[in-house]
């Protein structure tokens, strides 16, 4: 095997073995991970993630209401999607929105295997989740916001898709060194996010502080005037 091919193979093996043990240091490493769906999903579903992601506590803190419609924006492998769907029960619905066709296929396989009747995978556009106006009670956005390009325009779209008393839940990595998470220069600080949301007409309604590496903020859409 030629040296470049050997190096590429070693890099991809390193990614497959990549878990939740350390942060992603560089953009290059992150892009390589995004191009390797199997490794990306393995990282998102690594059982070690539960220790800091605390999915049960997160779901409990949301106080889900029966029949709610949630859009899990940037659903990825479905780490939160299927937990949300389980807690919502058959009356509720979770749109699992992602721009990565491989993630959508994976979500479709998972929902078939789990016989989850209240999960709807949705292949979105990078600048548009493609949901109907006034159809969503809550957007749930975990570790995805820093991937969105034109965020003010995107927030205006989310506002159109929310029901009048709708909320946006944001969980993302603090802009400080943490043992896991994306490169520091990609992170959005809690303060910057609150400002960005306020500029788009979203008011911070509550905050949970039990996640060690991430902030967990809940915003209400303010009605105009």
Ligand X SMILES: C[S@@+](CC[C@H](N)C(=O)[O-])C[C@H]1O[C@@H](n2cnc3c(N)ncnc32)[C@H](O)[C@@H]1O
Which residues contact ligand X (rule: CB under 6 A)? 44, 73-76, 79-80, 97-100, 103, 124, 126, 142-144, 147-148
What span, in angstroms and rounded, lies between the C-alpha atoms of 120 and 73? 12
What kind and span of H or E run contains 86? helix 81-88
Minimum gap (Å) between residue 34 Cβ and ligand X: 7
Closer residue to ligand X, CB minimum distance, 136 or 142: 142
Give the SS3 label for residue 182. Answer: coil
Least distance to ligand X, CB of residue 89, Å: 21
Question: In whole angstroms, how close is the CB of 79 to ligand X at the nearest point?
Answer: 4
- Joined tokens for residue 104: 């959508």
**Contacting residues for 167 by C-beta, under 8 A, at least 6 apart:** 137, 138, 139, 205, 218, 219, 220, 221
Work out how close the CB of 223 gets to ligand X at its nearest, in angstroms, rounded to a whole number.
26
* DSSP result, 142-177: ES-GGG-SSHHHHHHHHHHHEEEEEEEEEEEE-SS-
> Is the CB of 124 or the CB of 197 nearer to ligand X?
124
Which residue number, 60 or 91, has a Cβ lying nearer to ligand X? 60
**Minimum distance from residue 28 beta carbon to ligand X (Å):** 16
Cβ closest to ligand X, residue 76 vs residue 92: 76
Nearer to ligand X, 66 or 212 (CB): 212
């Amino acid at each position: 095997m030629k040296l470049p091919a050997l190096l590429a193979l070693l890099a991809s093996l390193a990614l497959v073995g990549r878990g939740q043990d350390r942060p992603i240091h560089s953009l290059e490493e992150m892009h390589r991970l995004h191009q390797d769906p199997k490794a990306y999903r393995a990282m998102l579903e690594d059982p070690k993630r539960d220790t800091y992601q605390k999915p049960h506590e997160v779901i409990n803190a949301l106080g889900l209401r029966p029949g709610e419609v949630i859009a899990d924006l940037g659903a990825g492998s479905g780490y939160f999607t299927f937990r949300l769907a389980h807690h919502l029960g058959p009356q509720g619905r979770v749109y699992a929105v992602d721009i990565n066709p491989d993630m959508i296929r994976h979500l479709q396989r998972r929902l078939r295997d789990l016989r989850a009747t209240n999960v709807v995978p949705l292949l979105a556009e990078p600048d548009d989740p493609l949901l109907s106006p006034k159809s969503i009670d809550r957007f749930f956005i975990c570790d995805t916001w820093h991937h969105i390009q034109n965020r003010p325009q995107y927030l205006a779209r989310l506002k159109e898709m929310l029901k009048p008393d709708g909320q946006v839940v944001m969980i993302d990595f603090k802009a400080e060194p943490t043992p896991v998470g994306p490169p520091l220069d990609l992170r959005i600080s809690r303060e910057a996010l609150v400002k960005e949301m306020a500029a788009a007409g979203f008011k911070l309604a509550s905050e949970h502080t039990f996640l060690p590496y991430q902030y967990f903020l809940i915003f209400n859409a303010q009605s105009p005037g």
